[in-house]
Amino acid sequence: MNHNKSSIPQLIIASTSTVYGGKYLDYLTKDLIGHFKEVDELLFIPYARPSGLSHEAYTEIARSFFEKINIKVKGIHEFKDPEKAIEKAQGVFTGGGNTFALVKKLYEQDLFSVLRQRIIEGMPYLGTSAGSNITGQTMQTTNDMPIVSVPSYQTLGIFPFNINPHYLDPAPDLLKHMGETRDTRLKEYLHFNDIPVVALREGSYIHTVNEQWLLKGELPARIYFSLDDIREIESGTDLRKLLS
């Protein structure tokens, strides 16, 4: 199958699939319609599946949403050859769950290189939570417990930064929590690493549009450029200008 190798990567990288009080992917619907406008059938990767959900059950959740915008969904586990499934896919959606479980499975099936190549070629990609984590340089800024071992922390490397989804601001007056905050954890990461981190609050997402990496959603993102340079970046900002 021939693909356009000069295309611009098309991604929606979301902190979460469901915002508080909302329904699955609803807050992304308008952008998803445009993002997948040339997609009749979407390939869903359920490998990060939340606890207690089978691949089939998780895929059905995605299928139920996308059928509302006239897009069919097939799970990658339904194919005998998952690499060929990605090679032929019109678009890919990698759902959330546990990033370690997702990365382990992608390495086991040797899918990182083909998925990266298809994204670079311009195949539209949607990631939520763990599916967003893997678009950064490494998965080291995931919030997930290492429930399985992974052969490498290196992931797709589409962006020159890492993602921290579900970012939570410290709330000492509301939570009498004496342990490390998310801010503390990310600063710990920067003591040993020099890859910046884009921390996405719930309802925030990155949408690549016309070679821009637009931050969208109602809330600002917190970007950890380094230990000495941490900034709040407003929605509507082109992150490419800041981080490329």
At residue 159, what are phi and psi to the nearest 5 degrees? -105, 150
Which residue is associated with the tokens 């311009």? 122
Three-state DSSP state, 12? strand
Would residue 6 show up in a list of annotated catalytic residues for this protein? no
The verdict on residue 176 lying in a domain is: no
Determine which helix (DSSP H) or strand (DSSP E) holds 229, and give its type and residue range.
strand 229-233
The verdict on residue 3 lying in a domain is: no
CATH code for the domain of 73: 3.40.50.880
The verdict on residue 188 lying in a domain is: no
Residues of the domain holding 211: 11-168+197-220+232-243
Q: What is the pLDDT of residues 125-173, one digit of tens each?
A: 999 999 999 999 999 999 999 999 999 999 999 999 999 999 988 765 5
Three-state DSSP state, 43? strand
Would residue 129 show up in a list of annotated catalytic residues for this protein? yes
Q: What is the pLDDT of residues 197-215, one digit of tens each?
A: 999 999 999 999 889 999 9
Domain count, the chain: 1
The verdict on residue 46 lying in a domain is: yes
The verdict on residue 53 lying in a domain is: yes
Long-range Cβ pairs for the range 207-211 (8 Å, 24+):
207/11, 207/12, 207/13, 207/31, 207/35, 208/8, 208/9, 208/10, 208/11, 208/12, 210/8, 211/8, 211/240
Q: What angle do CA 61, 138, 83 make, to 5 degrees?
A: 55
The verdict on residue 43 lying in a domain is: yes
pTM of structure: 0.93
Q: Which of the residues 166, 183, 235, 238 is marked catalytic?
A: 166
Q: Which of the residues 17, 77, 132, 144 is marked catalytic?
A: 144
The verdict on residue 1 lying in a domain is: no
The verdict on residue 226 lying in a domain is: no
Would residue 3 show up in a list of annotated catalytic residues for this protein? no
Q: For the purposes of burial, counting CB atoms within 10 Å of the CB of 219, is it exposed (0-12), middle (13-18) or buried (19 or more)?
A: middle
